[in-house]
Amino acid sequence: MSTAYLFPGQGSQFVGMGKDHYENNEAFKALCERANEVLGIDLTSIMFEGPEETLKQTEFTQPAIFLHSVALYNTLDASPDMVAGHSLGEFSALVACGALDFESALKIVRKRGQLMQKAGTDNPGTMAAIIGMEDEVVEAICADATDMIGKEAVAANYNCPGQLVISGYVEAVEKAVELATERGARMAKLLPVSGAFHSSLMQPAFDGLKSELENATFNTPKCPVYSNFTAKPTTDPEEIRANVLDQLLNPVRWTQTIQGMIENGATSFVEVGPGRVLQGLVKRTHRKAEISGHQ
C-alpha cells in the first residue's frame, strides 16, 4: 500500500483560494504571513481578493498556487511514499519531500513566474489543447505544422491518455489546431495563456533560472520525487536540480508519471492544493485509481 501525493500547477488558481484555511488554521496563516514577508508583496491579498486579472499574471499565479499547496500540506499528517507536481507543482512536491526548504523554493518560484511572464512577452507564443487523439498522432501533427509554417509547435503537457497540450509560435500552433480538427480531434482549441510554456520560447526563462537553481541547496528527499522532465523517480539532489530546470523547455510527462507511480506500487493518490484538476487526470489515466484531495 503506497500513497502518492500530487501538487497542481498553473491554471488551478481562483480568487479566494486559501482564504478559509487562513481564517481557520493558525499554521496555514503563519506560513502565508511568512511568504508575504519573504517576497515583500501582499501575496495573500491577491489570492483572497484578486482582482482575477492580477492573480492570472504568471508572476503572481505561480507563488500563489505554491503557497496554497505547501501551507495546506503542512497542516496534514502526511507521510507520502512518492510525490510529483504538475509543472510549477513540482516545486511544491520538492518542499513536501524535503528536497527544498520553503523559503528557498518560494523565492525560486517567484523568480520563475517573473521570468516566464517576461519570456512570454518577449517571445510571443501560445498553447492549445488537443482532445481525443493518440499522443503519437498529435506529435506528428506538431511536426507537420512546424514544417508547413517554419516555426515550432511541440507537445507541452501529456496530461492523460487522449489529452495533450501543445505549445509554440502562434502561427504554428494555430496550424496544428487546424490540422488536428481536419484529422478528427474531438476538440482542438487555443488556450488563454501568456506564453508558450514548455517550449524553446522559454529559453530566456531557462537562462535566468539557471543561476538561481545553482545557488539553491537541494537535499536528499524523504521519498522519491517523480520528475516532469523524465517521468521517473529520483532521490538524487543534483538530478532534481537539473530536472526542474529542464522542464522549462520540455514537456510535462504527467501521463507517464502517473503510469510509473502505479507500476511502482502507488495504490492511492492525494492531490493537495487549489482545484481538482489532477484528480480528474489520474482518473482518466487509471479508472480504478483511488484518488482524494485537499483544497
In sequence order, what DSSP letters do the residues of 100-142 get, joined into one string?
S-HHHHHHHHHHHHHHHHHHHHHS--EEEEEESS-HHHHHHHH
Q: Which amino acid is at 276?
A: R
- Same domain, yes or no: 54 and 95: yes
Distance in angstroms (rounded) separating the CA atoms of residues 141 and 172: 10
Please list, residue by residue across 58-72, b when 16 or more beta carbons sit within 10 angstroms of its beta carbon and e when fewer do. Answer: bbbbbbbbbbbbbbb
- Same domain, yes or no: 103 and 139: no
**What is the pLDDT at residue 1?**
82
Interior angle at CA 259, CA 251 and CA 144, nearest 5: 35
**What is the pLDDT at residue 159?**
97
- Same domain, yes or no: 231 and 179: no
Show which of 160, 191, 222 is a domain's final residue: 191
Residue 105 grid coordinates:
523554493
What is the tens place of the pLDDT at every residue in 25-72?
999 999 999 999 999 999 999 999 999 999 999 999 999 999 999 999
Domain count, the chain: 2
CATH number, residue 159: 3.30.70.250
- Same domain, yes or no: 77 and 163: no
Cell 503572481 -> residue: 60
Q: Decide if pLDDT at 194 tops 90.
A: no
- Same domain, yes or no: 19 and 108: yes
Choosing from 12, 69, 87, 92, the catalytic residue is: 87
Show which of 191, 220, 243 is a domain's final residue: 191
- Same domain, yes or no: 104 and 24: yes
CA atoms 194, 200, 202, 204: torsion sign: negative
- Same domain, yes or no: 79 and 61: yes
What is the tens place of the pLDDT at every residue in 202-258?
999 999 999 999 999 999 999 999 999 999 999 999 999 999 999 999 999 999 999
Q: What is the mean pLDDT of residues 182-205?
A: 96
- Same domain, yes or no: 204 and 171: no
Choosing from 21, 68, 86, 198, the catalytic residue is: 198
- Same domain, yes or no: 254 and 136: no
Q: Decide if pLDDT at 190 tops 90.
A: yes
- Same domain, yes or no: 99 and 136: no
Cell 501575496 -> residue: 43
What is the tens place of the pLDDT at every residue in 106-120?
999 999 999 999 999
User: Has 294 been annotated as catalytic?
Assistant: no
- Dihedral, 178, 183, 185, 188 alpha carbons, nearest 10: -10
Max CA distance (Å), the chain = 56
How much is the mean pLDDT over the chain?
96
- Same domain, yes or no: 212 and 111: yes
- Same domain, yes or no: 148 and 254: no
The phi and psi torsions of 82 (rounded to 5 degrees) equal -160, 155
**What is the pLDDT at residue 83?**
98
Containing domain of residue 141, as a range? 125-191
Task: Give the closest residue to 139 by CA, choosing from 168, 103, 99, 104.
Answer: 168
User: Has 198 been annotated as catalytic?
Assistant: yes
Show which of 191, 218, 234 is a domain's final residue: 191
Give the confidence band of 139 by pLDDT, cuts at 50, 70, 90. Answer: very high
Please list, residue by residue across 155-183, b when 16 or more beta carbons sit within 10 angstroms of its beta carbon and e when fewer do. Answer: bbbbbbebbbbbbbbebbbbbbbebbeee
CATH number, residue 57: 3.40.366.10
Task: Give the pTM.
Answer: 0.96
Q: What is the mean pLDDT of residues 260-278?
A: 96
